[in-house]
Structure 1
Amino acid sequence: MLGFQPYETFQLLIETGGVDRTNTLLIAACDAYARRGKPTIPEMEQFETLANRLFPTAGPQARAKGAAMLGRAEVLSPTLEKLVVDNIGEDLIPFLENAAELSDQTMLDIIARYDVPACATLATRADLSNVVLAKLFQMNSRKVYRALAGNTYIVPRGAYLSALARSAQMDHLVAEALGRRDDFDAALLAPAFFDLSDAHRVKVIEAFANRETPAAPISRTIEQLSVATGELTKALMKLFSENRRPEVTKLLSQITGLDEVRCGQIAHDVTGASLFVILRAFGATAYDGLKVLIHATSHDGERSKDLADFAGLFSAVSPESMAYLMSAWRGEVNLLELSKQQYQPFTQTSRRTEKMAPAHNPVVDQAIEALARIGIRRAS
C-alpha cells in the first residue's frame, strides 16, 4: 500500500514495537498518504484501516503531528476527516479554514460538540449545505453569527434573513458586517442604526429611497403635533447655532415621543444622519433641512459632498418612510414586512446613475448663501 510493506507487516510492527514505533509508523504513514496525491478507493480504504489502528495506540504528540500531516492530503474520506478533527488539537482551526472539502457529517459532528471557535470558522466556508447552515443558525453564539453575517456565499433570504436581521439588533458587529453587503437590505438594520458607522447610517436611509413603507405608528404622534415645520427648523437652527444641544435633546423628546437618551444621541450626532431622519419625518424640505444640518454637523473634510448627499436624500426619501424608520427605533414595527414585494424600492441603484456633483447642487448653494446673508454663525 502506497509503497509500504504489506498491511500484515504493519500490524506486526504495531503489536510488537511499542508506543515509540507506533508513533514513528503513524507519522510516516500520514506523511506518505498526504504526499500520495489522489489515492484510489482501495488505497484509501486500506489506509483508513491502518490509521484507525495507529491513532488510538500512538502518543498524544504523535497523534497531533500525524493528524496535521494527514490534514494536508488532497482527498480525505469522512472517516479520515474524523481522525484529523479528533486528533489535530490546536491546529483544528487552520485545518477547517484550508480544507478544500469537508463532509457534512464532519461539520455536523463539530457543531454537535458546540466548539464555538471551530463553528465560527465553519460559518465562513463557501461549501455549506442547507443542513449545516440550519444547524449553525440554531447556535446561540455571537461569534458564529458574525461569521455568518460576513459570509457572502450565504444568500440572506427566508429564515436566514430573519435570523440575521434579529442578530443585528443585538450585536453591532453583525450589523456592521451586514452593512458592508450589497445583497442585504440595509433598511432591516434600522433598529441598529445608532450602533452603525457613519457611512452605514446613511446607507440605511438610502435603503428607504423611492420606497413605500407600511403605516408607521409614530405617524399619529407627528400628525397630532401643532408644531409647524418651518417653526421647528428655525428653532433647531437657532439652538444648534448656539450649541445648545441639551435643549435640542428636550425639544426632540417632546415632539417625537422618543426617550431622552435616544434624543440625546440624535442631538450630539455630528454626522447629521439621525437628525436628517427627524427633519424629513416632519416634512422638512431640502432648503430648510440643510440650514439645520449645516449648523448641527461637522463636515471639515468633505462638507459640500456630505451636504449634497443629504440634499439628494431629501428628494428621494419620503416623510412617511422616515416616520417608519423612527418607529423602528422605538421597536413598534416588524421590519421584515419590508421584504414583501409591495415594499421593495421602485428603482434599483445603478452604477450608471450619475450623482449630482456637490459644487453644482443648487439646493446646497442656496442654503449656504442664505446663511451667509443672515449672518448666523455655525455651532462650534
Structure 2
Amino acid sequence: MLGFQPYETFNLLIETGGVDRTNTLLIAACDAYARRGKPTSPEMEQFETLAARLFPVAGAQARAKGAALLGRAETLSPLLEGLVVAHIGEDLIGFLEAAPELSEATMLDIIARYDVAAAATLARRQDLTNVVLAKLFQMNSRKVYRALADNTSIVPRGAYLSALARSAQMDHIVAESLAKRSDFDAALLAPAFFDLSDQDRVKVIHAFAHRETPLAPIKKTIEQISVANQELTRALMKLFSENRRPEVTKLLSQITGLDEVRCGQIAHDVTGASLFVVLRAFGCSAYDGLKVLIHATAHDNERSQALADFATLFGNVTADSMAYLMSAWRGEVNLLELAKPEYRPFIENSRRTPLQNTHNPIVEEAIEALARIGIKRAS
C-alpha cells in the first residue's frame, strides 16, 4: 500500500518490531500518505486501520512528528483528523489554520476540550457550520468573540447579532472590529461609543440617520429642563472658547442627567462627536450647534470637512434619536429593539450616492462669523 510492502507485512512489523520500529513505520507511513495526493477509498480505509494501530503504540515524539506530516495531506477523513488533532501537540494551531477542510466532528471535539486558542482559531475559519457556530458563541471567551467579530463569513443576525452586540459592550476590541463591518448595524455599538475611534464614533451617529427610535427614557429629563437652545449654546461657546472644560463638565452633568465621568468625556472629546449628540438631543439647529463645535473641536486641516459632516448630520438625525443614543450611554434601553422593522433606517446607503459637498454654506458662514468676532478657539 502507498509504495510500501503489503498491508500484512506492516502488521507483522508492528507486532514484532518494538517501539523503535513502530516509530519509524508511523513517520514513514504518514509521510507517504501526505505525498500520495488524493487517495482512493480503499487506500484511505487501509491507512485509517494502519494509523489507528501505529499511533497508540509509537512514542510521543514520533506521534507528534507523524501527526504533523499527516496534517499536510490533501485529504483527511474525520478519523485521521482526529488522530492529527490528538497527537500534533504544539503544531495544532498551525494545522487548524492551514487545513483546507475540517469536519464538523473534529471542530466540535476541539471546542469540547475548551482549548481557547484552538477555538479562537476555528472561529476565524470560513467553513463553520451552524452547529459549530452555536457552540463557539456559547464559549465565555474574549479571544473567541474577537475572532468571531472579525469573521466576515458570519452573518450578524438573530442570536448571533445579539451575542456580538453584548460582547461589544464589554470588549472594545470586539466593538472596533464590528464598527469596521458594513453588514453590522453600527447603532448597536452605542454603549461602546467612547471606546471607538473618531471615525467610528461618527459612523455610530450616521447609523441613526433617517431612523425612528423607541422612546428614550432620558427624554423626560430633557423636557423637564427649561433651557433655551440659544442660552445653552451661548454658555457652551463661552466656556469652550476660554478652555474651561471642567465647568463644561459640570454644566452638562446638570442638564443631561449623565454622570460626571461621562460628561467629562464629552467635554474633553475634541472630535465633537459626543458633544454633537448632546446638542442635537436638546434640539439645537445646525447653525447654533456648529458655533459650539467650532470652539470645542480641534480638527486642524480637516476641520472644514468634519464640520460639514456634522452639518449634514444635524439635518439627518432627529433630536429623539440622539436622546435615545444618550439613554444607551446610561444603559437604559435595549438596543436590540433597533433590529425591528419599524426602527430600521428608511434610506439605505448606496454606492451611487454622491459624496457630500464639502462647501456647506452653513459651515462657511459659521467659520466666517467666528473669524470676524475674533474669538480664540480652544485648543
TM-score range, shorter chain: over 0.9
Residues in 2 aligned to 1:126 and 1:303: alpha-carbon distance in whole angstroms: 41
How many angstroms does 1:3 deviate by?
1.8
CA drift of 1:353 comes to 1.2
Tell me the CA shift for residue 218 of structure 1: 0.5
What's 1:290 paired with? Answer: 290
- 1:341 counterpart = 2:341: yes
In the alignment, does 2:103 pair up with 1:103? yes
Shift of 1:356: 2.6
Could you tell me which residue of structure 1 aligns to residue 370 of structure 2? 371
Measure the CA separation in 2 of the matches of 1:50 and 1:308: 71
Q: Residue 177 of structure 1: CA displacement?
A: 0.7
- Counterpart in 1 of 2:264? 264
- Return the offset for 1:301: 3.3
- Give yes or no for the alignment of 1:151 onto 2:187: no
Aligned partners of 1:254, 1:215: CA distance in 2, in Å? Answer: 22
Letter of the 1:377 counterpart? K
Equivalent residue number for residue 317 of structure 1: 317
Question: What corresponds to 2:175 in structure 1?
Answer: 175
Secondary structure, aligned partner of 2:227 = coil
Structure 2: how far apart are the matches of 1:306 and 1:230?
23
CA distance in 1, matches of 2:164, 2:356: 34
Q: Which amino acid aligns with 1:366?
A: E
Q: CA deviation at 1:303?
A: 1.1
- TM-score scaled by structure 1? 0.99
| Residue equivalent to 1:56 | 56
**Deviation (angstroms), 1:188:** 0.3
Deviation per residue, 1:123-178 (Å, 9 max, x gap): 00111111000000000000000000110000000000000000000000010110
Deviation at residue 355 of structure 1 after TM alignment: 2.6
**Secondary structure, counterpart of 1:350 in structure 2:** coil
Contact 1:211 1:321 in 2 (8 A): yes
Residues 219-238 of structure 1 show CA distances to partners (whole Å, capped at 9, x for unaligned) of: 11111111101110111011
Give the TM-score, by structure 2 length: 0.99
Counterpart in 2 of 1:302? Answer: 302
Alignment of 1:136 onto 2:136 = yes
Alignment of 1:23-102 (within 5 A): 23-102=23-102
Report the residue type matching 1:257 in the other structure.
G
Aligned residue-pair number? 379
* Rounded Cα–Cα distance in structure 2 between residues aligned with 1:36 and 1:193: 54
- The answer for unaligned runs of 5 or more in structure 2 is none
Question: In the TM superposition, what are the counterparts of 1:211-230 in structure 2 within 5 Å?
Answer: 211-230=211-230
Match of 2:354 in 1: 354
Give 3-state SS (helix, strand or coil) of 1:301's partner: helix
- Give the Cα–Cα distance (whole angstroms) in 1 for the partners of residues 88 and 276 of structure 2: 54
Residue 357 of structure 1, CA deviation: 2.9
Cα distance in 1 for residues equivalent to 2:313 and 2:21:
74
Superposition misfits of 4+ residues, deviation over 4 angstroms:
none
1:160 alignment partner AA: Y
- Counterpart AA for 1:227: V
Aligned to 1:233: 233
What's the Cα RMSD here? 0.8
Q: CA deviation at 1:204?
A: 0.4
Matching residue of 2:247: 247
Q: What's 1:199 paired with?
A: 199
Residue 345 of structure 1 and its aligned partner are, at CA, apart by 0.4
Q: Take 1:368 and 1:133, find their aligned partners in 2: how far apart are those partners?
A: 52
Q: Which amino acid aligns with 2:214?
A: P
Distance in 1 between residues matched to 2:63 and 2:308, nearest whole Å: 63
The AA in structure 2 aligned to 1:171 is: D
Range with greater deviation from structure 2 (370-379 or 331-340): 370-379
The whole-number CA distance in structure 2 between the counterparts of 1:230 and 1:23 is: 84
Q: Which stretch has the larger CA shift, 60-69 or 249-258? A: 60-69
Residue 2 in 1 paired to residue 37 in 2? no
What amino acid sits opposite 2:373 in the alignment?
I
- How far apart, in 1, do the equivalents of 2:266 and 2:355 lie? 27
1:347 positional shift: 0.6
Deviations 1:74-131 (Å, cap 9, x if unpaired)? 1100000000000001110011011111111100000000000000000001111110
Structure 2 residue matching 1:302: 3-state secondary structure: helix
**C-alpha separation in 2, matches of 1:232 and 1:346:** 32
Q: CA deviation at 1:8?
A: 1.4
Give the letter aligned to residue 266 of structure 1: I
Aligned counterparts of 2:277 and 2:351: Cα–Cα separation in 1: 25
What CA distance in whole angstroms lies between the structure 2 residues aligned with 1:370 and 1:281?
A: 25
SS in 2 for 1:75: coil
State how far apart, in whole Å, the 2-side matches of 1:249 and 1:282 are: 16
Q: Structure 1 regions of 5+ residues with no counterpart?
A: none
- What residue identity is the alignment partner of 1:24? T
